[in-house]
Structure 1
Amino acid sequence: MKIARGCGAVSGRSPEVFRAMESLEVRSDDIILAGYPKSGTNWVGQILSDLVAIFEKKTQNKESSVNDEELEEFPYLEIGDTGKYERMNKLPSPRVIFTHLLPENLPKSIFKNKAKILLLIRNPKDVATSFYHFSNGMSPLPSYETWDDFFIAFMTKKMPWGCYFEYLSEWNKYADDENVMTITYEELKKNPVLGVENIAAFLGISLTEKELQSVVERSSFQSMKKNAQKTHGAFGNVLFRKGGISDWKNLFSEDQNEKMDKAFEEHIGGTKLGIKLKYEVYCKA
């Protein structure tokens, strides 16, 4: 398996890159990790990398093909230069590909070839809170003087990857597809062992008890934060800030709570993804 690293954090999302992206031939054994920014994609990406490494070792009797020299491509599909997709076409299977994009902006071959898609979602109040801290710590992104300024931008669709509620609404159309599995940040945080077991089962990867524990430990927040400098360079400290649930309670005003509750109901309340998010549990003060 080859996975991507190091290149600009938000560079390369140009029309040319999107046109070039269509040349990527996604294979049926590729694994697509789809999640809006700050939903936990780097965390779940670690789990996927470890699972695929175990799978390769068992089925091909070899150590994972990932090593420092080979980490050529940044894992996010939409970030990079126009030549990235030709290079990705030459990488061996299975490939793990991350994306923050809406389904309509992805290469058609993902759906045509029925690649497995792991859809990661997180309660919108914590997404907004995490995105606020992330934006102010990441130089290519716009920074905000106050939380109130950020909240207005988040709610008026002025985020670099668009509106989170629209993101959930669009992906909800695919939630019942057999090649799509939805997992929430909260359920994985609450029971990482069960979460990893479910992901492995979806990918058809069998794990021993020891392998399962190893994947869970290596993907713990403490472990990933400790290795952040090594795995994500200068961005490490910004990417792994708290890794918790309900941090939104430190920022949201009563009025902001009401506005987000209303937006949630309007966009995805009662939908499959809306129900899965357990909004009443995680987003009510």
Structure 2
Amino acid sequence: MSEKIHYLLHGIQDRYNALYQENIDKLGNQDVLVASIGGSGQSFLGNILLELGLNYADAYTEVLNPDGTNTPEPAYADYRSRLAATAKRDGHTSVPKRRWPRFVKTHLTPEFFTERPLLGAWILVRDPRDALFSWYNFRIHFAKDPLDIRAGSFERWLDQPGPNGVSRLEDWGNFYDQWTEARGGFERTTVTTFEDLKKAPVSSMRAALEELGVEVPEPDLPRAVENSSFTAMRSGTANEWKSWMTPSLRTKFSAMPMSGAARRYGYRTDAPAHRAHNAPGRPTPVRDREGRTQDIRPAPVAAATASSRSAAGASVPLGSSVITRASPGRAR
């Protein structure tokens, strides 16, 4: 059974709903997919983009229109109220200041987009311990999916097959490895870690947007970050796992293939708690099926104090702009 069919049969609003299926056919060569596992901070990133006047679309809860506008689906109003910028524009078709490129949220693997002529991909990654715990809590407390609730605990939920038929632990690694391999098929790509986004939101956002070829006025980004502070608070913090990790959970996260996948993105899930040090931006090199090294480094960011300096009006250092280019249009 193909991964796509398994999602259709077992997704139950987890990663793939009927509205998203319709929206996929509307994606084109001015769309950039923002890809992440749930619980990785996409609400915070999306809110910043909306505050900048850029076009961030939640294809799970909005109808994508050919002219670049997006029409909220009333059935998802409760969920959409979680994002301050989204709530402000609901009730009517949104017309962003800049319609293109359009940034489109996804929790799907690249397989779903192989026939679409897309502009790029923005990969958002978070420590799998924090991301999966956050996603679990969303699924049982907000989405209230019966299958997730039936698991009874986070530990059992990790072992329970997710929407693509494998455990959540295996799914995390599969998801990001597939997106890493697919990067060569896009004209523009970048990687942002949740940890950088929370530590230095202004500089990490500016570096990522630069890699994607999007310029924003100097004062706008600090203001957008400030206006997204409530969403940032709700999105959590780095290394929350240290407050709830148990010996049995540590064993699960330390085992292969999870520990190997995590290490490729700079996360040491197999290190003892007192020695664990995550260093996103220094991952183990990943090679694709043809043996070529894949660059999965996040967009370079300035020091952690960049956010406060920019808010005071000082210039924000930019990371080097390295855009992965290949034949435009198609994710492999």
TM-score for both structures, normalised by structure 1: 0.65
Partner of 1:168: 176
Q: Does 1:281 align with 2:288?
A: no
Contact 2:43 2:235 in 1 (8 A): no
1:194-273 aligned within 5 A: 194-220=203-229, 222=230, 224=231, 241=234, 243-265=236-258, 268=261, 271=264
Contact 1:128 1:151 in 2 (8 A): no
The unaligned stretches of length 5 or more in structure 1 are 1-8, 55-65, 67-73, 226-239
Displacement of 1:246 after TM fit? Answer: 1.6
Displacement of 1:198 after TM fit? Answer: 0.7
Displacement of 1:244 after TM fit? Answer: 0.8
Moved more, 194-203 or 134-143: 134-143
Displacement of 1:190 after TM fit? Answer: 1.3
**What is the percent sequence identity of the aligned residues?**
20
Q: Does 1:155 align with 2:159?
A: yes
Q: Does 1:27 align with 2:3?
A: no
1:1-285 aligned within 5 A: 10=13, 13=16, 20-21=22-23, 23-24=25-26, 26-51=27-52, 53=53, 75-78=57-60, 84=63, 88-92=65-69, 93-94=99-100, 95-106=102-113, 108-109=115-116, 113-142=117-146, 143-144=148-149, 149-158=153-162, 163-175=171-183, 179-220=188-229, 222=230, 224=231, 241=234, 243-265=236-258, 268=261, 271=264, 274-275=265-266, 277=267, 280-282=276-278
Q: Per the alignment, in what secondary structure is the counterpart of residue 39 of structure 2?
A: coil
Displacement of 1:207 after TM fit? Answer: 3.4
Letter in 1 for 2:13: V
Contact 2:37 2:107 in 1 (8 A): yes
Task: Give the direction of change, closer, same or farther, for the CA distance of 1:241–1:48 in structure 2 (3 Å limit).
Answer: closer
Moved more, 183-192 or 138-147: 138-147
Alpha-carbon distance in structure 2 between the residues aligned to 1:207 and 1:22: 27
Alpha-carbon distance in structure 2 between the residues aligned to 1:124 and 1:145: 22
Displacement of 1:209 after TM fit? Answer: 3.2
Alpha-carbon distance in structure 2 between the residues aligned to 1:130 and 1:12: 15
Alpha-carbon distance in structure 1 between the residues aligned to 2:15 and 2:218: 41
Contact 1:11 1:79 in 2 (8 A): no
- CA-to-aligned-CA distance 1:245-282 (integer Å, 9 cap, x gap): 122122221121121122355652554xx23x465523
Q: Per the alignment, in what secondary structure is the counterpart of residue 167 of structure 1?
A: helix
Task: Give the direction of change, closer, same or farther, for the CA distance of 1:202–1:219 in structure 2 (3 Å limit).
Answer: farther
Contact 1:129 1:247 in 2 (8 A): no
Alpha-carbon distance in structure 1 between the residues aligned to 2:220 and 2:129: 34
Task: Give the direction of change, closer, same or farther, for the CA distance of 1:17–1:139 in structure 2 (3 Å limit).
Answer: closer
Contact 2:16 2:108 in 1 (8 A): no
Structure with the larger helix share = 1
Displacement of 1:210 after TM fit? Answer: 1.7
